[in-house]
Amino acid sequence: MAKNAGVSTDAVLARYERRYEALKVELAALGYFCKGTVLSRTLRCGRATCPCSSDPDRRHGPYFEWTYKVAGKTVNHRLSLQEAKVYQDGSAQYRKLKSLLRRMESLSLRALARKARTG
């Protein structure tokens, strides 16, 4: 049996509206955002006599990179530690934005379907 089978259309739509408004409040509270990922890397320098060439714990770094796609191509930017923290926060905000939009779309589809059935 459908989850909202015994509930009036008005009550269901009112509940959807409250949820949708709550999601809009969360959306409005988002900070700056950016696509991509921030990576921390350690590297070998290439000199055979350097300890980094044989011991992974002695590699140089960490170095930070922000990686994202533009028109299907991967773009990398080197970052300082301070920049890495800012872009990590921006990336987390982007993931939250995408999650909120998916939830809003799902809720919208349910509300539209309910409205369409009742005219």
pLDDT tens per residue, range 55-96: 889 999 999 999 999 999 999 999 999 999 999 999 999 999
pLDDT of 1 reads: 42
pLDDT of 9 reads: 82
pLDDT at 4 over 80: no
pLDDT of 88 reads: 97
Q: What is the pLDDT of residues 15-40, one digit of tens each?
A: 999 999 999 999 999 999 999 999 99
Q: Which has the higher per-residue pLDDT, 118 or 15? A: 15
For residues 68 and 50, what is the distance between their CA atoms, to the nearest angstrom?
32
- Could you tell me the two tokens for 105? 């779309």
pLDDT at 2 over 60: no
pTM attached to this predicted model:
0.80
Say if residues 42 and 61 touch (Cβ distance below 8 Å). Answer: yes
pLDDT of 112 reads: 95
For residue 62, whether the previous peptide bond is cis, meaning omega lies within 30 degrees of 0, is yes
SS3 category, 40: strand
> Using CA of residue 15, residue 92, residue 101, residue 25, what is the dihedral sign?
positive
- Could you tell me the two tokens for 74? 């991967």
42-46 own/partner pairs: CB under 8 Å, 24+ apart: none
pLDDT at 43 over 70: yes
Average pLDDT over residues 96-102: 98
